[in-house]
Structure formats: C-alpha cells, structure tokens
Amino acid sequence: GNSVTQMEGPVTLSEEAFLTINCTYTATGYPSLFWYVQYPGEGLQLLLKATKADDKGSNKGFEATYRKETTSFHLEKGSVQVSDSAVYFCALKRGDMRFGAGTRLTVKP
Amino acid sequence: EAGVAQSPRYKIIEKRQSVAFWCNPISGHATLYWYQQILGQGPKLLIQFQNNGVVDDSQLPKDRFSAERLKGVDSTLKIQPAKLEDSAVYLCASSPAGVRNTGELFFGEGSRLTVL
C-alpha cells in the first residue's frame, strides 16, 4: 500500500544551520506530496506541496523537490531559526492522505 | 475565515468508559476527516465523510468507534468502551470538494484523550 518513511528525530540544530529532513515514499501511480508542520500547541498546517515529478514546493524558506526516480521528497532549509522549532510531517495523497511518523526539530539560539 | 473547531481539547477517562469528540469544519468544506495520532506516530485516518456520506472507514475499529455527520456539517466521533490503547490525539480535518480542492487538508487543534 501507499506509505511514507521519514527521518527519525529528534533533530537539534543551532540557529542558521542547514536543515535536511529525509522523506521517501511508496505508492502506486503518481501521488501528490506534502510537508505539514505542527508548531507547539497548534494543529497541523500545510508547509508546502508538490503534485508532479520534478515540481519544487517552497514556503517560508523551506523547499522540497518531488523526485520520482528516487521516490523522495526531502525537506531543506538553508538557515533555520528558533521559530522553526516544530514537528514536521511528510505526507502523500493518492486517495487518502498518508503521513510519516514526524520529525521533531529543535533550533537553539 | 474560521478554522476547524474541535472540542473538548482534553479528556481523561477510565478504561471501559465512553467519550465523544465534536468537530465543526471550515464553512463550505464538503469533506471531513477524523485522524488518530498516537504519541510518536503520524496521524492515521479513521474515517472520511463526503457531505453526510462515509467515503472510507476501513481503518475505523467499528466494534468500539463510531462517527456520524448527520447534516453534512459538524461531526461527532465516539469511543465506547475505551481501551488504554485509545490514548491519542484525535484530529479533525476538512477540505473543499470539486475544483476548489487543492489536496490540502485543514486541521483543527485536536482533542487529546488519556485513558487510565
């Protein structure tokens, strides 16, 4: 069935460090791919998405590219801030939305 | 535009008791979802409604869980009787149907259930 595997956390970085959170997927056909973020005390919210191969989603300095050949959708940010501390979920949608287990990111000043 | 509303935010019950969670989706959103998020895991779909009809309830433990969306607007998720393993955050999400559907789900803040 369709599934998502993402990098286990927690991840702790210093402010201005480079971030990568790995995400790979298994799916039939061509799913849409998403990154959702959950800030402390808040609900999940969409961070970015890509709907077809080679699409790049971007938002708030975060980027992820839909790589069909490696079935991946890795999340990257060049310079993280303390305010980026949150739990990040990779997800795919082909029919229903399937989520990865989440990666907790803590950014220290 | 008001977001997805859920209540209660927190609930503590003993095993074998019952509990109900309520969700009011974003106005005009035809599709409503209930997800279960166990600590350390990603959200798992329990049930999906399109208006007041069930689209997918294949992962809903029907011996103890039930959900309804009678008028195609708000929804209630019930657990009866609760087990220890039902301790989780219950997330409600909604999305528009048809041409307005971008694939994005809009989530509420969740209802955290602790079963003792």
Tens digits of residue pLDDT in B59-110: 999 999 999 998 889 999 999 999 999 999 999 999 998 767 778 899 999 9
Under an 8 A CB cutoff, do B45 and A97 touch? Answer: yes
* Residue B71: predicted pLDDT: 87
Are the beta carbons of A44 and B43 separated by less than 8 Å? yes
Exposure b/e, A20-41, CB count within 10 A at least 16 = b: ebbbbbebeeebbbbbbbbeee
State the Cα–Cα distance between residues B75 and B69, nearest whole angstrom.
Answer: 4
Instruction: Indicate if the pLDDT at residue A55 is higher than 80.
Output: yes
Q: Do B43 and A46 touch (CB under 8 A)?
A: no
Chain A hits for B104, CB-CB cut-off 8 Å, are 34, 46, 49
Distance CA B45, CA B58 (A): 9
Using a CB-CB cut-off of 8 Å, the residues of chain B touching A45 are 107
Q: Are B114 and B11 in contact (CB under 8 A)?
A: yes
Kindly state whether B57 is in contact with chain A, defined as any CB-CB distance less than 8 angstroms.
no
Mean of the pLDDT values across residues B20-25? 97
Four-residue CA torsion sign, A65, A2, A103, A35: positive
Say whether A89 and B91 touch across the interface (CB within 8 A): no
Cα distance between residue A34 and residue A2, in whole Å: 14
**Run of H or E including A25:** strand A23-26
Q: How many CB atoms lie within 10 A of CB B18?
A: 11
